[in-house]
Amino acid sequence: MISIRFVVMLCLLLLGTSVSAQITKHRNTTHSEVRTTTKELAKRITKNSRTDTEKARALYTWIAKHIAYDHELRHNPELQKKFYASKTQLIQQVVSRKKALCGGYAFLFSELCAQLNIESKVIHGYSKKYGNQKSIKKQPDHSWNAVRLDGTWYLLDITYARSHAKGSEPDMYWFKTNPAYFVYTHYPQDPKWMLLESPISRARFESLP
């Protein structure tokens, strides 16, 4: 199982930042409190959606539009200690502050899906942030999602939806992206999450434009 400390390291590595303090346990927020909050939020966001696909799209769009990128957290070890104490604490802070790094986006989406009985996964791996930028990284540096809709798994990345947004509208290219194109910028730790019939090697990923 991936630890929450590992998740924050992924997101900060993507930014070229390291975690300089040990993550400690935070007891202020209970799991039941967060579950109640996210249940209400999931219902509110998807109140006009009927199908699971519509609901997943609504969650993706809402998070990308309303959860800002957390530049403060990126540079603040004390906040990192507090927020990344647990998955529950992370989600609570993302919802209350409306800010996140890649792990925050991915875990919030997955939590909201769970509240709607939609199966989803948080995927960890390597990324190419822009265009033909090479990753050339020894450790995974990014987190994104897979979601199961009508019996089929699809890939999405809310962090990229924000970074590639046009004005206030998130880039919908990163919702249910064709796996054959998604692999140009995302390489999962577990090859099965490429969702390709024939997964490519890490070396091949690095060579892609």
Q: Do β-strands 186-188 and 120-127 pair in parallel, antiparallel, or remain unpaired?
A: antiparallel
Q: Pick the closest to residue 3 from 105, 92, 107, 127 (CA basis).
A: 107
Which residue in this structure is represented by tokens 């769009």?
A: 61
What residue type is assigned to position 196 of the chain?
L
pLDDT in the model for residue 34: 73
Q: What pLDDT, in 10s, does the model give residues 63-82?
A: 999 999 988 877 887 877 77
Q: How many CB atoms lie within 10 A of CB 137?
A: 15
Q: What pLDDT, in 10s, does the model give residues 72-121?
A: 877 887 877 777 778 888 898 899 989 999 999 999 999 999 999 999 99
Q: What pTM does this model have?
A: 0.83
Tokens matching residue 13: 């590595």
Mapped onto helix, strand or coil, the DSSP state of residue 158 is helix
pLDDT band at 15 (very low <50, low <70, confident <90, very high): very low
- Give 20-51 as a DSSP string: -S------SS-HHHHHHHHHHHHHHHTTT--S
From residue 86, how far is each of 30, 71, 72, 141, 201 by CA, in Å? 10, 20, 19, 19, 33
Mapped onto helix, strand or coil, the DSSP state of residue 71 is helix
CA–CA dist 189, 94 (Å, integer): 25
Q: Pick the closest to residue 41 from 102, 81, 99, 91 (CA basis).
A: 91
CA–CA dist 24, 5 (Å, integer): 10
Pairwise pLDDT comparison (170 vs 35), residue with the higher score: 170
Which residue in this structure is represented by tokens 């647990």?
A: 86
